[in-house]
Chain A
């Protein structure tokens, strides 16, 4: 059973950098066919995919965050990370790390972390 656990500060000051880490257990982050994903949910709103990283380091990001977002993966420690710079109140959300699984060219999320609320304060 794969488990994911987010960690990081719950409050980030406006204009600063949001940094979250996701620890993966029960499976190797280096396995082929999986996308290590970050999804966020603004308070009372729907789900928004913001990006993913493959174990090779290849990344894809949502265009609206390009220039501010970066993801990295540490295969030796079996975790991956999210950095979002110059945050504003619009970045206040619950951030989920998750595993995307792909066997037919159209992946879905099969495992989710519990989510962590990040509040941007002024």
Chain B
């Protein structure tokens, strides 16, 4: 099955830029979607089709995808951005249709 790998955690100071990556075989050939999950809450879509932002998601959130790495970038990080972030692809090549990454915890120092 297709595997998406994410760093367990990323730490950043308020006002700085957080970069979270999602690695997968030829992931650049797929669309990658990103979710934010705060403790005790359901996930929220923050990026879809690599770099499209849903309405209500700040412009500070941006995404890219190329080669073997997709990236979610949060500029001017705020305390409220602290959460787990999961990448996701749709893998129609196997029986696992939705594949989620392992998740990255963003820690705002």
Which chain A residues have a beta carbon within 8 Å of chain B's beta carbons?
37, 39, 46-49, 52, 60, 62-63, 96, 100, 102, 104-110, 112-115
Which chain B residues have a beta carbon within 8 Å of chain A's beta carbons?
30-31, 33, 35, 37, 41-45, 48-49, 54, 86, 88-90, 95-103
Q: How far is the CB of A62 from chain B (nearest CB, A)?
A: 7
Say whether B42 contacts A96, CB under 8 Å: yes
- Closest 6 A-B residue pairs measured CB to CB? A49-B98, A108-B33, A112-B42, A106-B90, A106-B31, A47-B100
Given A49-B97, A49-B100, the answer on whether A109 and B43 have CB atoms closer than 8 Å is: yes
Contact of B100 among A37, A46, A107, A113 (CB under 8 A): A46
Q: How far is the CB of B89 from chain A (nearest CB, A)?
A: 7
Q: How far is the CB of A44 from chain B (nearest CB, A)?
A: 11
